[in-house]
Structure 1
Amino acid sequence: METLHLVLNAVTVIFIAVTMFAAGLGATVSALHGVFTNVPLLVLALIANIVVVPLLGWGIGALLSLPAASFVALILVASSPGGPFGAKLAMVQGGDVVSGAAMQVLLASVGSITFAPTVNGLLTAADLGANVSLDVGALVRTVALLQLVPFAVGLLLRRYADATARSWYPSAAAVSNVTFLIVLAGMLLGNWQAVVALLGSLALLAGFLLSALSFAAGTLLATGPPVQRTTMGGVASVRNAGPALAAIGLAFNDQPAILGALAAILLSGLAAALPIASFLSSRREEPVAAETEVRTHDRR
């Protein structure tokens, strides 16, 4: 099992780095500038991810009267924005990948700073205790190394070696897709006991509801065309497991019950977000297919 975890961790690192690299290859400086100068979009995304989603986690936990371990795990997940699956969901739904990747990196960086105080405040409000303290510098360095650097390298290639970037993009996207499937399978295989143990509880439902409602909140609290808004919804629906795992190790002594609940909540969250992204993708493909058919008919 230890070997499986090591392999899964390695593949996860590859998945995050390659996904961000592919997003950079598909981006342009002008498009990125448009995202970071769109103040209403930035402010609304920060409100959705830093304020609304954590409050949703607290509210869902209280509403479902979750056991302490599951409640703690739900708050940890909800308080940690900028999950690396955000850029992947943008690709899956055929959304605005540039905005999704850029916002994901920004939220992960900001979340490194806001995570601990947000968790402490919500744990206190839920009467679950509060003593979470993390190394902010280490979290920021992790975000920079795994997300920002690959994205920046891809972006620079696109700007200064456009032909190379365009030729590399299909391979990078393919590696991202394959490693994504391996990570999903590994998460299920490595945590199936924890998930099975929680089948009789409401933890899986809590994770599913958190992801679905976060998708809706992120979409509603966004500006721009529908493609951009639903991309922001996808970014909000998947959270960053890194700070949550670090908090469990430092503040909760790696309690198995909390670790198991965390795995179950993350998996059930993906079970909610992926079908939504796939549905959006199918809806966007239908008009394109219809338009192509009309053009073909007109030519005849």
Structure 2
Amino acid sequence: MATLQPLFNAITVIFIAATMFTAGLGATLPALRAIFAKPLFLLLALLANLVVVPLLGWGIAALFGLPTAAFIAMVLVASSPGGPFGAKLGMVQKGDVVAGAAMQVLLAAVGSVTFGLTANAVLTAAKVAAGISLDVAALVRTVAVLQLIPFAIGLIVRHYTPPTAQSWRPVAAGVSNVTFLIVLAGMLLGNWHDVVALIGSRTLLAGVVLSVAAFATGTVLATGSLVRRTTMGGVAAVRNAGPALAAVGIAFGNTPGVLGALAAVLLSGLAAAVTIAAVLSRRRAGGTT
């Protein structure tokens, strides 16, 4: 893995930038303004994703007595809102797709700034491994540059030349999806000893519990119809892998144990969120909700 580390880092950067560029190409100013026009809706979503879910990650990691690497992975994932698949879950569950997509990109943008502060605060308060302290300034700079600038460029293209944005978006989304799969495969294969060791462990279960708890939190702390509220639940359940990967590289030198635990938490959480969305979709297709 060490010899391929520069390639892994480069693909990770491409994944983060392509994901946010795609989000910008798909966002519209009216949709983003609509969120700010509902202060309570916005405030509750920010509370759920920026405060409650990180605290849930800390609490679940402590409750399950996770080892240091898995504890760190849980906190990093929980502290990183705005995962791009959250918007897709709105489609899967036949939810409020417009509100879900707008909230997802807003949370990803805000999370670029809050992620390092939140993760550092939780890890310091939890006194993990004698009190790990992240380089918050470096994290904020790196994540903000990798996320905010590509998003802003995509948003500008969408605003001024919608046909160009429409033609570019499938390509950008393809790059994002392919690089995410490569990064995930690299995390799994490059650290397979650590990943295999997690099979049957509490780490996978903790990832599922975090996702379910986040889905419930996002749904409860939302306003509007049940369809809109469960859409916000899906957005809360899927966290943003980009900042977490950046933190593992910057603060932990891509430690295999942390990378393996991060992959396990992300995959188990995503599986749980997709299952919930699929159940909601079937119920809505049958007219029961």
TM over 0.5: yes
Contact 1:93 1:280 (8 Å CA) reproduced: no
Identify the range of structure 1 (21-30 vs 265-274) with the bigger mean alpha-carbon deviation. Answer: 265-274
Correspondence for 1:112 among 112, 116, 128: 116
Q: Which residue of 1 aligns with 2:94?
A: none
What does residue range 6-85 of structure 1 map to in structure 2 within 5 Å?
A: 6-78=6-78, 80-82=79-81
- Aligned mates of 1:188, 1:107 — CA distance in 2: 25
Residue type at the aligned position of 2:2 = E
Query: Normalized against structure 1, the TM-score is what?
Result: 0.77
Gaps of 5+ in 2: 92-96
Contact 2:123 2:133 (8 Å CA) reproduced: no
Residue type at the aligned position of 1:107 = G
Q: Deviations over 1:107-142 (max 9, x none)?
A: 231233232223222x14xxx465333333322222
* Shift, 1:156, TM fit: 0.9
Instruction: State, as a whole percentage, how many aligned pairs show the same letter.
Output: 55
Q: Larger Cα Rg: Structure 1 or Structure 2?
A: 1
Gaps of 5+ in 1: 288-300
Contact 1:194 1:264 (8 Å CA) reproduced: no
Query: Normalized against structure 2, the TM-score is what?
Result: 0.79
What does residue range 1-300 of structure 1 map to in structure 2 within 5 Å?
A: 1-78=1-78, 80-82=79-81, 86-91=83-88, 93-94=90-91, 95=97, 96-121=100-125, 123-124=126-127, 128=128, 131-225=131-225, 228-237=228-237, 238-239=239-240, 240-242=243-245, 244-245=247-248, 249=252, 257-277=257-277
- Aligned mates of 2:196, 2:88 — CA distance in 1: 30
* Shift, 1:153, TM fit: 1.0
Q: Deviations over 1:165-195 (max 9, x none)?
A: 2222222233333333333333322232211
Residue type at the aligned position of 1:158 = R
* Shift, 1:225, TM fit: 4.7
Q: 1:166 to 1:58 in 2, by over 3 A?
A: closer
Q: 1:170 to 1:226 in 2, by over 3 A?
A: farther
Identify the range of structure 1 (156-165 vs 35-44) with the bigger mean alpha-carbon deviation. Answer: 35-44
Contact 1:66 1:203 (8 Å CA) reproduced: yes
Q: 1:225 to 1:211 in 2, by over 3 A?
A: same
- Aligned mates of 1:69, 1:183 — CA distance in 2: 19
- Aligned mates of 1:274, 1:135 — CA distance in 2: 33
